[in-house]
């Protein structure tokens, strides 16, 4: 079988699939049937090796690769693959497209038959016909059994279900994009409607239509599916909804009920903490020019529009990749909704209809987007109305492409002043040059400001249209903590703000300068300050920030977003790369922690009513021993040359730990476990904390995951905003569990680490030190500040403070105790040990 690239004399075949791995496997299977005969096959699948999706430009290139006078047959898997293939034909234009047949055959069976037919010299139409008939043998064989199954009534849904929206802002861009992405991967036709508002059903594969449902938190939504995977599709989507579509919990800025872009003047509103001082630099976006007159026939206009959409998609993918590399992966997910809109069949079909009726490419796109934008702006919820800005941002990027220009990138030295910013512009800001941001409109909850906060740039939004009259070069002060904007400050005002800014900058500079030094308390106790990591880039950032070790490596990031698990060699390579960065300092590798809010496509995970109390962490690993054994094998290989700790998550019983250790022993043969390998467990379940003494003989260390320990202790899901106030790790009940672990571990000389968000909380740090915690593992950027905090503390005074905190009645009382305490002054009279009442 020829992979293409040389002149083909027979019919060429293109395989279009959402999954590159699936397409390559199908091609390999077909090759087995050809016995060395040559057929030209090209693959256009996935957006990259691990990202699902289809791209019209990629399909166009694949068709051109195998094209010949004999023609090309295109096989597609499902959903948007068909739309992408149709768009590819439009890009090709007449001539080449006339030789192409889009074949409705099943992908795997059709490819095998098509390859055999093409190898035998069949014509293009014969190859397509053979592929389309590929299921006849299977159908005939199973027909008698199928007749016994009652057929559903025409038009009747094969499966339906309802769920209640749990996301804080309803089905806004990110959860809606996740829903649509999952639907597009399924071999089923899915519709969705808002039962609460009695809306009409819309295609669940269209982000632009799902957004019009206005589904808010607490609304009841119905999904209905038909097709081969109807039942499994419903089960999967209900499970996804119960996990809030895997949307990470978001920290709401001070103005919870912030206005949308249309509500400018209700502020100014604080959007990103800090103080920024500098000359005003106005960013004036010129509206894209829309040519109302077609430059050519409808086919040419449509080709121009599709090329602009494809160019915009590539630009957004580059922005997303940069955001994932420089910020947080959850921040990068903001752009998934933008990419989804650019492949929305409803939008593209409507635009194509307008072009066919004589509209120019720009006019058709503007009219189509404008209609949907109007529907979004009519939604009752201000947060969902604000998502219209996402649609407008994407639309303007396409129009800029049509006009031959690019979206203005906000690269300035000073304080950026603008009407509003798109997420792409926000992602491009350079925090070393942009000292502050002031917007006339905007919202603290917008996607642009999620990105700005990640950059750490002080910002104020909804300051009013008058800020657009600020003359370039005028000194502006941005207080992103209080929401103040001072234009042309007096000398006295400027001096005060500069002192505040200098104090913050000096504090951060001192912390950064001393970050590489050990964190020694005032009475000489060393506390290890490690970093929580997800990848090699995180490790580099942590090492630069002065982290003493890698306290938690989230290995699930290596397992997510792919169709099959990573190999032993692949895992060894990634773990070793992180170990190399830390150059002899220990790294702690947590074994696979999925389930609950994370799932894998290659593991059968049934829908669970409460996945956080179901098969997750070590429970799932012990059910898939093959995955755990491979991971432990890779860890052992790295541990033979580097100091490595292996940590098992979500352990509830000693039996789980012993079973995991037995698998570790098996993975370490023939030489046995490396001498540098230390074994530990995550303490996230109250039961494990309460019987910690029974675990201690089998571990070298324990790490307390305070995020999960808090939610399980207080029965308050950490991602549920309705009970967020309850999920406070400073609640005395949580502190008592930490104390129980610390007290028992100290007796057995076992190290105790805390790796949850509590470890970087300046209020919690003195309590943790007083509860015998010996290591704090935090995000890389927090390392310098946490080390500085430890150096200001006296552990004897911390122990006395912790003793008092354990007797408190609420988290609020604990915070008041810490605020009033003097834990910096050395207190030699205070006993080091604490008592648990």
Do 793 and 765 form a contact (C-beta atoms < 8 A)?
yes
- According to DSSP, residue 260 is labeled -
Write the DSSP string, 32-63.
HTTTT---BEEEEESSSSS-----HHHHHHHH
> Is the preceding omega at residue 3 within 30 degrees of 0, hence cis?
no
Q: What is the CA radius of gyration of the chain?
A: 29
Only one residue has tokens 């207190």, namely 827
Work out the angle between the directed axes of helices 80-92 and 56-66 (0-180°, nearest 10): 60
- According to DSSP, residue 287 is labeled P
Terminal alpha carbon distance of the chain = 75
Phi-psi region of 513 (alpha: psi -120 to 50; beta: other; left: phi over 0): alpha
Please say whether the dihedral angle defined by the alpha carbons of residues 85, 86, 87 and 89, taken in this order, is positive or negative: positive
CA distances from 242 to 187, 245, 516 (A): 22, 7, 43
Catalytic residue of the set 103, 535, 636, 755: 755
CB atoms within 10 A of CB 597: 19
Phi-psi region of 488 (alpha: psi -120 to 50; beta: other; left: phi over 0): left
Write the DSSP string, 306-330.
HHHHHHHHHHHHHHHHHHHHHS-HH
In whole angstroms, give the CA distance from residue 778 to residue 703: 12
Catalytic residue of the set 447, 455, 636, 798: 447
Is residue 78 helix, strand or coil? Answer: coil
Residues with Cβ within 8 Å of residue 229, at least 6 apart in sequence:
186, 187, 188
Is residue 434 helix, strand or coil? Answer: strand
Q: Where do the DSSP E strands lie in 705-782?
A: 751-754, 775-778
Encode 435-461: b = buried (16+ Cβ within 10 Å), e = exposed.
bbbbbbbbbbbbbbbbbbbbbebbbbb
In whole angstroms, give the CA distance from residue 589 to residue 534: 10
Residue 623 burial class via C-beta count within 10 angstroms: exposed 0-12, middle 13-18, buried 19 and up:
middle
Only one residue has tokens 């999925």, namely 594
Q: How many alpha carbons fall within 13 Å on the CB side of residue 385?
A: 16
In whole angstroms, give the CA distance from residue 548 to residue 167: 37
Do 398 and 308 form a contact (C-beta atoms < 8 A)?
yes
Q: Answer yes or no: 103 catalytic.
A: no
Is residue 158 helix, strand or coil? Answer: coil
CB atoms within 10 A of CB 477: 26
In whole angstroms, give the CA distance from residue 40 to residue 27: 11
Do 709 and 689 form a contact (C-beta atoms < 8 A)?
yes
- According to DSSP, residue 551 is labeled E
Do 701 and 676 form a contact (C-beta atoms < 8 A)?
no
Q: Answer yes or no: 455 catalytic.
A: no
Do 173 and 390 form a contact (C-beta atoms < 8 A)?
yes
Q: What residues pair up with 161 in beta bridges, in sequence order? A: 223
Write the DSSP string, 710-722.
HHHHHT--TT-GG
Do 55 and 310 form a contact (C-beta atoms < 8 A)?
yes
Do 792 and 824 form a contact (C-beta atoms < 8 A)?
yes
- Quote the tokens at residue 79: 């959903």
φ and ψ of 676, to 5 deg: -85, 0
Is residue 593 helix, strand or coil? Answer: coil
Give the catalytic positions in this structure: 447, 755
């Amino acid at each position: 079988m020829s992979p293409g690239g040389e002149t083909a004399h027979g019919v060429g075949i293109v395989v279009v699939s959402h999954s590159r791995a699936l397409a390559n496997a199908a091609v390999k299977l077909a090759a087995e049937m050809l016995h060395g005969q040559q057929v030209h096959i090209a693959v256009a699948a996935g957006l990259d090796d691990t990202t699902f999706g289809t791209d019209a430009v990629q399909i166009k290139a694949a068709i051109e690769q195998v094209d010949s006078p004999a023609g090309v047959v295109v096989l597609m898997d499902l959903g948007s693959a068909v739309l992408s293939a149709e768009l590819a034909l439009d890009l090709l234009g007449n001539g080449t497209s006339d030789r192409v047949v889009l074949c409705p055959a099943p992908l795997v069976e059709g490819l095998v038959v098509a390859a055999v037919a093409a190898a035998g010299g069949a014509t293009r139409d014969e190859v397509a016909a053979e592929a389309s008939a590929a299921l006849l043998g299977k159908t005939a064989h199973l027909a008698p059994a199928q007749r016994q199954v009652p057929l559903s009534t025409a038009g009747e849904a094969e499966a339906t279900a309802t769920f209640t929206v749990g996301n804080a802002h309803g089905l806004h861009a990110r959860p809606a994009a996740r829903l649509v992405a999952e639907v597009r991967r399924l071999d089923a036709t899915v519709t969705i409607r808002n039962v609460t508002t009695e809306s009409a059903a819309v295609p669940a594969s269209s982000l632009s239509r799902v957004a019009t449902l206005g589904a808010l938190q607490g609304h009841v939504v119905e999904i209905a599916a038909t097709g081969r995977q109807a039942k499994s599709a419903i089960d999967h989507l209900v499970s996804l909804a119960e996990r809030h579509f895997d949307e990470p919990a978001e920290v709401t800025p001070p103005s919870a009920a912030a206005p949308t872009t249309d509500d400018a003047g209700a502020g100014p509103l604080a959007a990103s903490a800090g103080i920024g001082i500098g000359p005003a630099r106005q960013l004036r976006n010129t509206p894209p020019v829309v040519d109302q007159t077609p430059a050519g026939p409808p086919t040419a206009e449509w080709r121009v529009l599709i090329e602009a959409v494809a160019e915009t998609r590539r630009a957004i993918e580059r922005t997303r990749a940069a955001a994932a590399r420089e910020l947080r992966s959850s921040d990068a997910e903001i752009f998934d909704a933008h990419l989804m809109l650019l492949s929305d069949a409803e939008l593209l079909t409507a635009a194509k209809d307008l072009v066919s009726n004589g509209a120019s490419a720009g006019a058709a796109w503007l009219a189509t987007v404008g209609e949907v934008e109007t529907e979004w702006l009519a939604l009752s919820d201000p947060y969902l109305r604000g998502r219209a800005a996402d649609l407008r941002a994407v639309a303007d990027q396409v129009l800029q492409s049509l006009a031959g220009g690019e979206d203005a990138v906000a690269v300035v030295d000073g304080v950026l002043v603008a009407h509003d910013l798109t997420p792409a512009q926000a992602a491009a800001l350079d925090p070393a040059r942009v000292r502050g941001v002031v917007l006339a409109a905007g919202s603290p909850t917008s996607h642009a400001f999620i990105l700005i906060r990640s950059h750490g740039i002080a910002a104020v939004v909804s300051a009013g249209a008058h800020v657009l009259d600020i003359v370039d070069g005028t000194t502006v002060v941005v207080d992103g903590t209080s929401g103040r904007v001072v234009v042309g400050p007096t000398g006295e005002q400027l001096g005060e703000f500069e002192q505040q800014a200098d104090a913050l900058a000096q504090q951060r500079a001192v912390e950064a300068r001393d970050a590489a030094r050990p964190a020694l308390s005032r009475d000489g106790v060393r506390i290890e300050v490690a970093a929580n990591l997800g990848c090699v880039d995180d490790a580099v950032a942590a090492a630069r920030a002065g982290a003493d070790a890698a306290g938690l490596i989230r290995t699930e990031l290596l397992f997510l977003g792919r169709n099959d698990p990573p190999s032993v060699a692949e895992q060894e390579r990634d773990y070793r790369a992180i170990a190399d960065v830390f150059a002899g300092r220990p790294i702690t590798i947590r074994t696979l922690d999925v389930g609950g809010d994370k799932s894998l496509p290659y593991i059968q995970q049934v829908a669970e009513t409460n996945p956080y109390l179901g098969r997750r962490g070590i429970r799932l690993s012990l059910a898939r021993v093959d995955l755990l054994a491979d991971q432990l094998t890779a860890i052992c290989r790295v541990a033979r040359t580097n100091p490595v700790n292996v940590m098992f998550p979500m352990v509830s019983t000693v039996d789980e730990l012993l079973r995991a250790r037995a698998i570790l022993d098996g993975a370490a043969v023939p030489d046995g476990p490396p001498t540098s390998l230390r074994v530990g467990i995550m303490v996230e379940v109250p039961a494990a904390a309460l019987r910690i003494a029974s675990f201690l003989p089998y571990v070298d260390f324990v790490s307390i995951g305070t995020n999960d320990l808090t939610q399980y202790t207080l029965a308050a899901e950490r991602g549920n905003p309705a009970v967020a106030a309850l999920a406070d790790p400073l609640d005395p009940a949580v502190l008592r569990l930490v104390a129980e672990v610390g007290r028992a571990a100290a007796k057995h000389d076992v190290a105790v680490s805390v790796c949850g968000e509590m470890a970087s909380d300046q209020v919690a740090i003195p309590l943790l030190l007083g509860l015998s915690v010996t290591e704090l593992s935090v995000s890389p950027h927090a390392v310098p500040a946490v080390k500085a905090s430890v150096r200001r503390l006296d552990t004897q005074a911390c122990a006395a403070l912790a003793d008092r905190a354990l007797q408190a009645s609420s988290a609020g009382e604990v915070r008041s105790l810490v605020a009033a305490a003097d834990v910096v002054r050395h207190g030699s009279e205070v006993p080091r040990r604490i008592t648990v009442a």
